[in-house]
Amino acid sequence: MKTRVSKPTFRAALQTDGTLELLVYEDIGQNFWDGGGVTAKSVKQQIDQAGPFSRIALRINSPGGDAFEGIAIYNLLRAQKKPIDVFVDGIAASAASVIAMAGDSITMGNNAMLMIHNAWSMCAGDASDMRKMADTLDKVSASVAQTYIDRAKLSADDVKSLMDEESWLSAQECVDKGLATSIAKDDENDDAAMALASKFKALKHLRNVPEKLRADAADGDGACDCPCDSCMDGDCSGCNCGGCDSENCGADACNCVGGMEASAPTDLSALEAQVQLIELASR
């Protein structure tokens, strides 16, 4: 199955053999700036529009994003009660790694990687607000951890250790740990997928990004962090954002919050409500 993609995208196609192919080469969660990103709603729309299908082939190359969207997409896919074959073509990081666990089979490109880490967010407020946020993030991380535990049958302590360290796992390590079932040999998609993966701006905010993914995603090197189309194409002079605080952006009119995860929740009560929904759903 050939899948050459040069830019972030999400699409679905019903194959002649009855397989619904979902291509997730995008951030998880809606992008505030350009409306991009994969959400549970967009996945549900594609499933509803596909018509009858016999199985799902899910191809992933994503830096992750919104943990709640990742969990919702995982549950939505499992609820279809159809066989699911997951293919990690480049990276399945953060929330995308949660989605990958929905597969009955999980095949990784021979140079693909999977990353798991603890949930993070932003919070404004006093010390009490900060303590509440820390407690909430612990609950979110525990919910995410349970997905890996159920799939790989790793111990809770093993998963916690991997998440604490922001672990980037090779295809072989994932197979050894039960987080993948097989490795694709000589997959022609591998190099193109990893080239795209290195351009995901979300990788700039992670601690342990492997060197092979740092070429375009690493901080420094004069790159602008602004997420608008012009800046992402290397043309800051054409930036049309309402203001950018990226120190490398050369556009006078630009002062948008470059590189920050725009969908990161700041409303603590809303975050806690979503955690409660997760807890209720797991009972």
Q: How far apart are CA 269 and CA 224, in angstroms?
A: 33
Tell whether 104 is covered by a domain. Answer: yes
Q: The pTM is what?
A: 0.71
Q: How open is the CA angle 208-213-218, to the nearest 5 degrees?
A: 70
Q: How far apart are CA 12 and CA 161, in angstroms?
A: 35
Asked whether the beta carbons of 263 and 66 are under 8 A apart, the reply is: yes
Radius of gyration of the chain (CA): 19
Tell whether 279 is covered by a domain. Answer: no
Tell me the pLDDT tens digit for each residue of 71-107: 999 999 999 999 999 999 999 999 999 999 999 999 9
Average model confidence (pLDDT) for the chain? 78
pLDDT for 221: 43
Q: Which domain holds residue 217?
A: 9-221
Q: How far apart are CA 237 and CA 252, in angstroms?
A: 8
**Residue 203 maps to which CATH number?**
3.90.226.10
Tell whether 234 is covered by a domain. Answer: no
195, pLDDT greater than 50: yes
Tell whether 40 is covered by a domain. Answer: yes
Tell me how many helices (H) and strands (E) the chain has. Answer: 10, 8
Tell whether 19 is covered by a domain. Answer: yes
- The number of domains in the chain is 1
281, pLDDT greater than 80: no
DSSP letter (8 states) at residue 241: S
pLDDT for 254: 46
Lookup: tokens for 116: 């798991």
Task: State phi, psi for 273 to the nearest 5 degrees.
Answer: -65, -40
Tell whether 245 is covered by a domain. Answer: no
